[in-house]
Amino acid sequence: MRMKQGSGRAAASRKIWTIAAIGAAAVVAVGGGVGITTASFWDEFEPSSTSSPGSSPAASAPDARSDYTVGVTPTDGAFSVNPATPPAVTVTGATLDAVELVPRAGGTPVAGTLSDDGTQWTATDRLAFDTEYELSYTARDAAGQPRRGTSTFRTVEPANEADAAMYPLDGATVGTGQPLEFTFSEPVTNRDAVEKAITVTSTSGQPGAFYWLSDTKARYRPETFWAPNSTITVESRLFGVDFGNGMIGNGDTTRTVKTHNTRLAVVDNATKTMEVYLDGKLDATFPITLGTEDWPSTEGYMVVMEQYESTRFTAESIGLEPGDPAYYPPTVVNHASRLSNGGAFVHEALPAAQVALGRFNVSHGCIGMSPEGAEYFYDTFATGDVVQILNTDYGPMYVWDGFGDWNVPWDEWVDQP
């Protein structure tokens, strides 16, 4: 495939090749980031000769090496090249006649464009990871004599690739309290670069911000709960982004998540009740039991994480061993909705605990309900819906213990140290 030729007398006789495959530019450390290096290859070139037998090349084709220069990125032999950086060939005092970029193992040439004056060729296709490329080019000097050069380079190897997963999954419908959680395959030290590469928009127009739980996990939320019945679009343009420590993002994705109507359960320790509000209107009230003084329930906002029609609770899962005063044998519970990593659930209270509903607390931090109440909650609420607990005097759930994100004040969220 031929590229558009430049203008001028020399251009009339030259051919320009497109560049094919999947490659990138040489990478060097520059203040913790990625830089591009260039080099001249003309010292290795031999001028072609159009002289007659017995004449010297210098007589018929003056050596123009000192009259022009060429710069190539990546440099010959470069490795761990970022595939997002386009290879380029630039000449000064000459014009490019032909350029080709191909995978050395074979494949389609990488497309590219030539500047109008014929002095610069730049790849327009993305390169592939873990691929060796060969870049060949020919330039003509003022006398029309060709100079040719070839260089090779290799892009980032799999060990230096990085990607990111998001929860909720693409296409999911969740409650209005669901933060977006990003889990990175490699530690992120260039947080600003990664955040800039991820754009979150919503049909509600709500702005938001990131909050980092660790070097591999970040959350994103607006100042208040997501608007009901809205669509959230997440565009992650991480291809070629330097995560830090030589780790390079390997792909771009676009994901959408929708929210359903507003569902809020307000649990009050003072009254031992749960009031359920759907779209802001009180829909149901149930008696409940919360955690004891030794195992208090946390205050503040929680978000439903997952649900089980029935599941098995063990004391060992919350750090208890046989012989501990609070130990209990493995127990099957019905209509359980998880609120924290630490083991807080909304669930049907055991038969022996039913007498405590609406009166006193007997749980290990869970919200115990009647069979009817637990089933109603299980059927009405889903992942991302919000539970608010009041008056336990214990303090809020931590941001990392489930989705305690809404307990972090907004100014602290956006000004995280």
For residues 401-410, average pLDDT:
97
- Is 366 among the catalytic positions? yes
Segment 356-379, tens digit of pLDDT: 999 999 998 999 999 999 999 999
Q: What is the DSSP letter of 291?
A: B
Instruction: Identify the pLDDT of residue 143.
Output: 85
Mean pLDDT, rounded, for 270-289:
98
CA end-to-end distance (rounded Å), the chain: 53
CA pair distance 214, 331, nearest whole angstrom: 34
Give span(s): CATH 2.60.40.3710, the chain. Answer: 161-259
Within a 10 A sphere around the Cβ of 10, how many other Cβ atoms? Answer: 18
C-alpha–C-alpha distance, residues 179 and 194, integer Å? 18
- pLDDT for residue 317: 81
Better-predicted residue by pLDDT, 117 or 54: 117
Choosing from 260, 335, 364, 366, the catalytic residue is 366
Which of 397, 389, 386, 393 shows the shortest CA–CA distance to 272? 389
Give dist(CA 57, CA 40) in Å, integer.
Answer: 22
Q: Where in the chain is the domain with CATH 2.60.40.3780?
A: 10-156
- CATH-assigned architecture of domain 161-259: Sandwich (2.60)
CATH 2.40.440.10 range(s) for the chain read 263-403
CATH 3.40.50.300 fits 10-156, yes or no: no
Q: Are 386 and 177 in contact (CB under 8 A)?
A: yes
Considering only CA atoms, which of 307, 277, 294 is closest in space to residue 374?
Answer: 307
Question: Do 349 and 226 meet the contact criterion of CB atoms below 8 Å apart?
Answer: no
Prior bond of 74 cis (ω within 30°): yes
Q: What is the pLDDT of residue 325?
A: 80
Pick from 108, 84, 110: which is nearest to 99 by CA? 110
Mean pLDDT, residues 137-148: 90
**Does this model's pTM top 0.95?**
no
Q: What is the CATH number of domain 263-403?
A: 2.40.440.10
What value does the mean pLDDT of the chain take?
86
Q: What pLDDT sits at residue 346?
A: 98
Mean pLDDT of 395-412: 95
The answer to whether residue 364 is catalytic is no
Q: Is the separation of the CB atoms in 223 and 204 below 8 Å?
A: no
